[in-house]
Amino acid sequence: MNIFNFFISAGLSFFITEKAIPFLKINIAAVPTNRGMHSITKPTGGGIIFVLIYIIFSILQGFYIPLISLPLALIGLLDDKFNISPKTKFIAQLVTVIGTIIIIKKNEITFLNTFLENSILNFFIIVLIGISIINFINFMDGIDGLICGSFIIILSLLNPFQNQFFPLIGALFGFLKFNWQSSKIFMGDTGSLFLGSFLVSILFKSSNSIDFIKILIFLTPLIIDPLITLIRRIFIGQNFFSPHKLHLYQRLVSNGLTHSQVSSIYIISIFLLGIFYRFSNLIILIITSIIVIIFGIFIDKKFAVQFFPDNKN
């Protein structure tokens, strides 16, 4: 049944995406900017395709957690079309994260049940982590195939026996054919906000604090890049709400690496961490994460455009 769900969702995603590209190019187009990583206008908002496919499969399977993330995906679709305000998106993210906490804490036994009882500060920490992950995934969706390919690996290795993940893995696989370099369509905020939010719900469903920490470490490439970029921008006095091209993956592309090369670096790093997540203990996973970070520092110094400390915009 898992293989069946995978191939059906992959086939649907491939077919619908191919047919939707002309429509989305006319109605929801991403126009190139000097802060973007693409030079031609392409359709965006394509994430709604794999989101709706997965929602249908989830309902049929009686797995309703993804429904929590659906409103945020729709907010993302509005943003792809109309460029809604950051404040509106933040409020939607906040409501989604708090709603996820309430629903999971009420219906399942997870580490949240004890962690949130200790202090009100813990609640704010969990909310901050949730919102940060959603935004970090959104920030990292800037070149062809990076987030789509990464999530295929993440969902496949988080729990290879989790029946509910197979339809989403399949739908992402079908979408990746058109999202890999040279891409014909972007998932947009529709897809990245949904995937970030759904990842948060998986994280919050961790049965204990150790598994919670292990999942965070598993996500090192998608968390450390935007986190360090944010810290560096604050340190040099930039307005961190303004658009930029200072993430490591962006600076690697700006220095001549292809989208597929850079995305492959991140995807392979995530795959390596995922193997250790599945088959080793926390200490080994931490050591692997440190090695990945050191490798990131190396390619930053060797192959990336310099992080411009004099840019105060």
| Per-residue pLDDT tens digits for 140-154 | 999 999 999 999 999
Overall average pLDDT of the 98-117 stretch: 92
- Identify residue 50 by its one-letter amino acid code: F
pLDDT at residue 163, as a whole number: 84
- Token readout for 237 is 């006095």
Residues 6+ apart with CB under 8 A from 173: 6, 10, 13, 152
Asked whether residue 310 carries a pLDDT value surpassing 70, the answer given is no
CA-closest candidate to residue 232, choices 298, 136, 309 = 309
pLDDT attached to residue 209: 94
Question: Other CB atoms closer than 10 Å to residue 209's CB: what's the count?
Answer: 13
Mean pLDDT value of segment 15-33: 96
Answer whether residue 313 shows pLDDT above 50.
Answer: no
Question: Is residue 75 included in any domain, yes or no?
Answer: yes
Q: Per the domain annotation, does 123 fall within a domain?
A: yes
Label residue 43 left, alpha or beta by phi (over 0 means left) and psi (-120 to 50 means alpha): beta
Write out pLDDT tens, residues 69-103.
999 999 999 999 999 999 999 999 999 999 999 99
The model's pLDDT over 182-191, given as tens digits with 9 standing for 90+, comes to 999 999 999 9
Q: Which two tokens stand for residue 199?
A: 């990842």
Q: Is position 313 within any domain?
A: no
The pTM (predicted TM-score) of the whole model is 0.96
Average pLDDT over residues 285-292: 98
pLDDT over 50 (residue 176): yes
Say how many domains are in the chain: 1
Closest C-alpha to 79, from 190, 169, 167: 190
pLDDT category, 48, cuts 50, 70, 90? very high
Take residue 211 and report the two structure tokens written for it.
Answer: 């598994």
pLDDT at 214: 97
Average pLDDT over residues 247-274: 98
Q: Report the relative pairing of strands 29-30 and 42-43 from DSSP bridges.
A: antiparallel
Please give the average per-residue pLDDT across 251-268, as a whole number: 97
Contact between 241 and 135 (Cβ < 8 Å): no
Token readout for 284 is 């080994």
Is the pLDDT score of 312 beyond 70?
Answer: no
pLDDT over 80 (residue 311): no
User: What are the structure tokens assigned to 148, written together?
Assistant: 């789509």
Under the banding of pLDDT at 50, 70 and 90, the label for residue 225 is very high
> What is the separation of C-alpha 290 from the centre of its chain, rounded to a whole number of angstroms?
21
Helices (H) then strands (E): counts for the chain: 14, 2
Chain-wide mean pLDDT for the chain? 94
Dihedrals phi, psi of 110, to nearest 5 degrees: -135, 180
Which residue range is the domain that position 115 belongs to? 2-303
Confidence of residue 242 (pLDDT cuts 50, 70, 90): confident
In this structure, is residue 59 part of a structural domain?
Answer: yes
Joined tokens for residue 144: 């062809």
Q: Is the pLDDT of residue 273 over 60?
A: yes
Q: For residue 293, give both structure tokens.
A: 């970070």
pLDDT at 305: 95
Asked if residue 1 has pLDDT above 80, the reply is no
Helices 146-158, 220-235: axis angle to 10 degrees equals 130
CA distance 84 to 99: 22
10 found inside a domain: yes
Residue 89 in tokens: 């998106």
- Look at residue 156 and tell me if it is in a domain: yes
- Provide the CA 77 distance to its chain's centre, in angstroms: 16
Name the token pair of 218: 């598993």
263: nearest Cα among 164, 170, 165, 142: 142
Asked if 193 contacts 75 with a C-beta cutoff of 8 angstroms, the reply is: yes
Q: Let me know if residue 189 belongs to a domain.
A: yes
62 pLDDT above the threshold of 90: yes
Average pLDDT over residues 277-287: 96
Q: Is the pLDDT of residue 309 over 80?
A: no
What 3-state DSSP class applies to 75?
Answer: helix
pLDDT in the model for residue 108: 86
36 assigned to some structural domain: yes
